Amino acid sequence: MNASSLLAGLIEAFQHPIDPEAAKIAFTPEQWRLLEGFLTPFPLRESQLIYSRGNEDKSLFLLESGRVTIHYENSEGKVRLCLISPGNLFGEASFLGRLPRKSSAQVASAGKAWMLGRIKFSEMMQRNPELAVAVTQTAAEVLANRVFNGKRRVAIS
């Protein structure tokens, strides 16, 4: 199988995101092809907890289908920060900052994500530093947009 068949749904989701505020991912066809070797498919089951606040995992997730809520727990229960839709990514703050998760991510509707873990990202930096820079810039752009739009919709994950 080639990247066009394995990542076709993901590429389509990022080329035509549901959320108008989603970052415009400008990977070239060659970058998508190379990215395939570093991403792990991550099936999403409804109500599944992907990660929780304080977790040390640093993975970045690219959402192909389904929906994911980002929230944190306060003294009165959960507070939903945002709903991530296909064509967007999440987990960017811990991925970039190497800090524990500041929020939790839970599946709102079943679907599929692709995960880029720290080990695979380290491998990417060695094998294809240009691709690693493109991924980092994309994650940073998403984080910056979420910080900038924080008063309207907080979603730093």
- Chain segment 113-153, per-residue pLDDT in tens: 999 999 999 999 999 999 999 999 999 998 888 877 665 54
Three-state DSSP string of the chain = CCHHHHCHHHHHHHHCCCCCCCCCCCCCHHHHHHHHCCCEEEEECCCCEEECCCCCCCCEEEEEEEEEEEEEEECCEEEEEEEECCCEEECHHHHHHCCCCCCEEEEEEEEEEEEECHHHHHHHHHHCHHHHHHHHHHHHHHHHHHHHCCCCCCCCC
| Residues 39-94 pLDDT 10s | 999 999 999 999 999 899 899 999 999 999 999 877 777 787 889 999 999 999 99
- Domain contains 157: no
- Residue 51 included in any domain: yes
Residue 123 forms part of a structural domain: yes
Residue 155 lies in a domain: no
Domain interval for residue 57: 3-148
How many structural domains comprise the chain?
A: 1
Residue 156 within any structural domain of the chain = no
CATH of the domain at 22: 2.60.120.10
Indicate yes or no: pTM above 0.85: yes
* 131 in a structural domain: yes
